[in-house]
């Protein structure tokens, strides 16, 4: 990250705001690229303003999630907060069942739990310290941190599934939704920026600590956010969770030879890597079944137990094949 390469650190809230600006610009450019006149797509976007108010829901959820993460990390040891926050995949699975009507096998649920354990181990092995201590802050602070971390995970899971449902409903294109999602998120992120970094921004300026590599990170994050929306629409939140875990492992492995990254403790890192790979294989053991479960809202009817009824249905499906019951008679 840029903050580790330069003495003057940029404000994270400002960087997130700039990510939304870049998402807006990239989405608008993509929309207008195939149009002969600029006014037509802009009029269409403006006509969608009432429909797109529904995107306030995930935007507010993500803002609330970020604030709750601050509370959780401030009142819990980093390792405990990490475990609770990583349960967002389990929450996404729960909301996928209640909101989208999906169903998951026992093997899939087991893979979710294994994946969460693997990601926690990898994150802890990256040496992320900090956070509060429940013994120093008291039982009340520890309970507050646990509630905040679990609420952040639940909001993340809900917002992701809500976006998945919104992306797959109606005739609005993904780019148009990304435009409105950025427009709605920008003022909300502006409020978060004023809440956490108002004093520093007034003293040092909005773009304090911004360098070329900072803008590079912002561009990568913005394009990654747009690609994430494609993954959510066409693959779903669960596969997005697995892809995110594999991306975490990939960046960590690449950082070992390139930047001299040394995971500490190394045992946790390599165990976490194995668990993530095992979870991915467990989830993809039967991809055909999972695709059927994803796009089917009702289970197929069970075969009739009565042999005569089964033979009659088989005869109706294939009139050229005589029924076994008729052969017995």
**pLDDT by residue (tens digit) across 203-220?**
988 888 888 888 998 898
Residue 293: both structure tokens together:
């479960």
Backbone phi and psi for residue 206, each to the nearest 5 degrees, phi listed first: -65, -40
Higher local confidence (pLDDT), 291 or 102: 102
> What is the pLDDT, as a whole number, of residue 297?
47
Residue 150 has pLDDT above 70, yes or no: yes
**pLDDT by residue (tens digit) across 289-324?**
455 455 544 555 555 555 565 555 545 444 444 444
Mean of all residue pLDDT scores within the chain:
78
Residue 4 has pLDDT above 90, yes or no: no
How far apart, in Å, are the Cα atoms of 261 and each of 5, 23, 251, 306? 15, 31, 10, 65
Residue 106 has pLDDT above 90, yes or no: no
What is the pTM for the complete model shown? Answer: 0.69
**pLDDT by residue (tens digit) across 8-58?**
678 888 888 898 899 999 999 888 887 777 778 888 888 877 778 888 888
**pLDDT by residue (tens digit) across 154-209?**
998 998 899 888 888 877 788 888 888 888 888 988 888 888 888 899 998 888 88
Q: Name the nearest CA neighbour of 58 among 206, 163, 132.
A: 163
> What is the pLDDT, as a whole number, of residue 329?
40
Across 102-127, average pLDDT: 83
Backbone phi and psi for residue 102, each to the nearest 5 degrees, phi listed first: -80, 165
**pLDDT by residue (tens digit) across 250-288?**
888 888 888 777 877 788 888 888 888 888 888 876 554
Non-local CB neighbours of 329 within 8 Å, separated by 6+ positions:
none
């Amino acid at each position: 990250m840029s903050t580790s390469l330069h003495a003057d650190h940029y404000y994270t809230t400002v960087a997130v705001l700039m990510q939304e600006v870049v998402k807006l610009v990239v989405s608008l450019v993509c929309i207008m690229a195939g149009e002969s006149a600029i006014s037509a797509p802009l009029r269409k976007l403006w006509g969608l303003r009432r429909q797109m108010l529904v995107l306030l829901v995930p935007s507010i959820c993500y803002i609330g999630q970020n604030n709750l993460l601050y509370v959780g990390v401030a009142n819990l040891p980093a390792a405990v907060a990490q475990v609770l926050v990583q349960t967002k995949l389990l929450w996404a699975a729960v909301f996928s069942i209640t909101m989208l009507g999906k169903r998951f096998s026992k093997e899939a649920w087991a893979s979710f739990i294994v994946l969460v354990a693997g990601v926690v181990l990898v994150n802890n092995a990256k040496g992320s310290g900090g956070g509060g201590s429940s013994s120093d802050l008291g039982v009340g602070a520890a309970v507050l941190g646990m509630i905040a971390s679990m609420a952040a995970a639940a909001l993340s899971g809900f917002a992701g599934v809500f976006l998945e449902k919104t992306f797959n409903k109606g005739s609005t294109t993904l780019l148009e939704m990304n435009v409105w999602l950025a427009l709605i998120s920008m003022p909300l992120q502006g409020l978060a920026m004023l809440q956490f970094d108002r004093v520093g921004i007034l003293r040092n300026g909005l773009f304090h600590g911004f360098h070329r590599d900072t803008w590079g990170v912002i561009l990568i994050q913005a394009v990654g956010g747009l690609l994430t929306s494609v993954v959510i629409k066409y693959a779903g939140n669960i596969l997005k969770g697995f892809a995110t875990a594999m991306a975490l492992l990939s960046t960590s492995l690449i950082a070992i030879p390139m930047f001299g990254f040394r995971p500490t403790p190394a045992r946790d890192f390599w165990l976490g890597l194995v668990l993530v790979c095992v979870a991915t294989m467990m989830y993809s053991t039967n991809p055909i079944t999972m695709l059927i479960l994803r796009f089917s809202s009702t289970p197929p009817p069970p075969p009739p137990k009565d042999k005569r009824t089964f033979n009659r249905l088989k005869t109706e499906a294939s009139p050229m094949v005589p029924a076994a019951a008729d052969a017995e008679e």
